[in-house]
Structure 1
Amino acid sequence: MARVLALLLLWAFSAGNCLGAERVLTLSFGGKPHRLTAEELLARPDATDLVVPNDSAYHREMKYRAVPLLGLLGTALKDGFNTIEARASDGYVSQIASNLVKKGAEGGAVAWIAVEDPAKPWPKLPDRDASAGPFYLVWEGAERSAIGNELWPFSVASLSGVDDPIRRWPQLAVDRSLGDDAPERKGQAVFIKNCMTCHRIDGAGEGEMGPDLGRPMSALDYITERGLRAIIRNPKAVRSWPQQQMEGFSESAISNAELDALVSYLAYMGKRKSAGETLPSRATP
């Protein structure tokens, strides 16, 4: 009996160590990736208590121990990276414009990395069997910079400095002949902001949670426009399954005009693919 108890204690200790080892945030901004443990982040002198009145993931007021993202990255954003790619452990990937983070020092929304303390675990997320930890990118005063829910990635595993999506994936870009006010061009921006976190299109992107909206068939080749609009607004009203993760976008997140533009963009991408057009070799300015 004593031997069995000893083995159980050893297993529990080992499992605890494994869980601790997974609590690492990797920063990649040129050069060798830098790995920081939750304990190291909590011990930083700029770590502070933060109250988020209307948390994006929990939909209520939350209190965190957090470190300022600008302080964490230091001079990394001066190295020419115009986008911060926040990759979550579940395949969710946010493309965050560096300027949004920099504006936190000039009166804009302030980005923080909330760190889950093992001694004070966060509650489970609604409809999930896990918390938002161990690392969660949250915003103080999100309304000051019109920060949407897609820029609140939780269970963050890594932060990387990258080029903006259009430069990385030129196939996302609409033709240069389309003006700035063209709905397809506006829809391109809506797709990058709201959809790329989970979806790719024709292989462009890093999101892994949802299907590619261009391969093997374009979305509007198998979903009606009415159905697509309904899925974007309230996916569970169209189709539902136990592991479904997509949440709908309200008019405050994607306005009706933006939804029109997004549908125009997806239709444009589908027609371009059907026509067999050559993908652009350079990004649209």
Structure 2
Amino acid sequence: MLTISTPGNGIHFEQKDIIKHPALVDMGQITLPAYPNQALSLKGVPLCKLLQGLSFNPENYLKVTAKDDYIAYFSINDFYPCASNKIPAFLIAEDPQYPWPLIINSDRSAGPFYLVLLGKRFSESVYGVHGMEIVAQQPLEATLSAAKMNAQELAGARVFIAKMQCLSCIEWYRQLAYGSRSEQSKSVELF
């Protein structure tokens, strides 16, 4: 089961709910980042359609958590509301009757849910999704708000964070924001 939660409410989806969703789109053959050597025939529901009816601020972030504890943050404004100028993002469900192959060097597939972003953001797609939460702030934003940067540096760092979505780069951000390691120990805890 996948839950998309907001501070006030949430919705739950089983794999069958996505597979039979009225907004399901045939995406054709796609080679996903989790399966670099093969194309899969995929169908997905536009994420903007799944978010309709939930109460949130479009300036918020979508926190996506995977089964392996990987976490990615996406600006909701990038793909919501549904419009041609937004990033096409789709939630794909693995059909239990037709399981996906195992991920290389793993004992599991990329399912049960895969968030696929098309276009320039394709490499940011997240597999093994088990939760989504709408949050007011990305953790790295808290670090930047306390950073010792001028307005231009701060604006540039925010653009970099928005484009990279790289939580493994936290050490770099802390060094950028706070300088030495001794100052980092006084910094905002991100996790």
Distance 1:57 1:190, change over 3 A: farther
The yes-or-no answer on 1:170 pairing with 2:170 is: no
Out of 155, 158, 163, the residue aligned to residue 128 of structure 2 is: 155
The yes-or-no answer on 1:68 pairing with 2:41 is: no
- Of structures 1 and 2, the one with the larger relative CO (CA 8 A, separation 6+) is 2
Q: Percentage identity across aligned positions?
A: 23
Ranges of 4+ aligned residues in structure 1 off by more than 6 Å: none
CA distance in 1, matches of 2:104, 2:185: 44
Partner of 2:103: 125
What are the Cα deviations for residues 144-170 of structure 1, in whole angstroms up to 9, with x where unaligned? xxx152x3111111111111315x862
Distance 1:91 1:275, change over 3 A: closer
Mapping of residues 19-38 of structure 1, within 5 Å: 24-38=1-15
The residue matched to 2:27 in structure 1 has which SS? Answer: strand
2:51 partner letter: L
The residue matched to 1:72 in structure 2 has which SS? Answer: helix
| Contact 1:173–1:188 (Cα < 8 Å) also in 2 | no
Q: Where does the alignment leave 5 or more consecutive residues of structure 2 unmatched?
A: none
1:61 partner letter: A
What TM-score comes out, normalization by structure 1 length? 0.55
Greater strand content? 2
Distance 1:139 1:62, change over 3 A: farther
What are the Cα deviations for residues 185-217 of structure 1, in whole angstroms up to 9, with x where unaligned? 645654563431x57x5xxxxxxxxxxx4xxxx
Partner of 1:50: 27
How big is the shift at 1:69? 0.8
CA distance in 1, matches of 2:63, 2:7: 13
Let me know the Cα RMSD of the aligned residues: 3.0
Q: Which has the larger radius of gyration?
A: 1
Out of 87, 110, 126, the residue aligned to residue 88 of structure 2 is: 110
Partner of 1:195: 166
The residue matched to 2:115 in structure 1 has which SS? Answer: strand
